[in-house]
Structure 1
Amino acid sequence: MKNALRIMIAMIIMPFDRLTDSKLLTKAMDILASMTGNEFFPTPTPALTAVSDAITAFQDALTGAATRDRTKVILKNRARVDLIAVLKSLGNYVTFTANGDSAMIGSTAFDTRKVPQPVIVTKPTVKVELGVNSGELTNMAAAAGGGRSFVHQYTPDPLTDESVWESFTSTSRKFTFTGLEKAKIFWCRVGIVGAKGQLIFSDPVSKVVQ
Structure 2
Amino acid sequence: MQDVIVSTYKNLADSETATFGYRVLGKMEGNPNFPDPPAALAAMKKLLPEFQSALGNAKGRDMEDVALKNSKKAELVALLTELADYVNLTSKGIRLKILSSGFFISGGSSNAPDPVIKQLDVMLGAPGEVSINVKRLRGARIYFHEYTAQPPTDETVWHSEMSKDPFYTYSGLTSMAKYWFRVVAISRGGQRVISPVISRVIQ
> If the length of structure 1 is used for normalisation, what is the TM-score?
0.49
Quote how far apart the aligned CAs of 1:106 are: 1.5
Aligned to 1:85: 78
Quote how far apart the aligned CAs of 1:103 are: 1.7
Mapped to 1, the partners of 2:40 and 2:71 lie a distance apart of 20
Quote how far apart the aligned CAs of 1:42 are: 1.1
Contact 1:34/1:109, CA 8 A, preserved across alignment: yes
Q: 1:49 aligns with which of 42, 45, 61?
A: 42
Mapped to 2, the partners of 1:80 and 1:106 lie a distance apart of 23
Aligned to 1:64: 57
Mapped to 2, the partners of 1:108 and 1:45 lie a distance apart of 13
Mapped to 2, the partners of 1:40 and 1:51 lie a distance apart of 19
Higher alpha-carbon Rg? 1
Q: Across the two proteins, how many residue pairs are aligned to each other?
A: 109
TM-superposition CA deviations, 1:101-140 (whole Å, max 9, x none): 1121121210111459xxxxxxxxxxxxxxxxxxxxxxxx
Mapped to 1, the partners of 2:90 and 2:24 lie a distance apart of 16
What fraction of aligned residue pairs are identical, expressed as a percent? 35
Aligned to 1:23: 16
Structure 2, unaligned stretches of length 5 or more? Answer: 110-203
The question of 1:95 aligning with 2:88 is answered yes
Mapped to 1, the partners of 2:100 and 2:22 lie a distance apart of 15
Segments ≥4 residues shifted beyond 2 Å: none
CA RMSD of aligned residues (A): 1.6
Return closer, same or farther for 1:61/1:44 CA change in 2, 3 Å cut-off: same
SS at match of 2:105: strand
Opposite residue 91 of structure 1, the aligned amino acid is A
Aligned pairs for 1:1-210 (under 5 A) are 8-115=1-108
TM-superposition CA deviations, 1:25-55 (whole Å, max 9, x none): 1111100000011000011113422111121
Structure whose residues are more often strand by fraction: 1
Mapped to 1, the partners of 2:72 and 2:40 lie a distance apart of 18
Mapped to 1, the partners of 2:31 and 2:19 lie a distance apart of 19
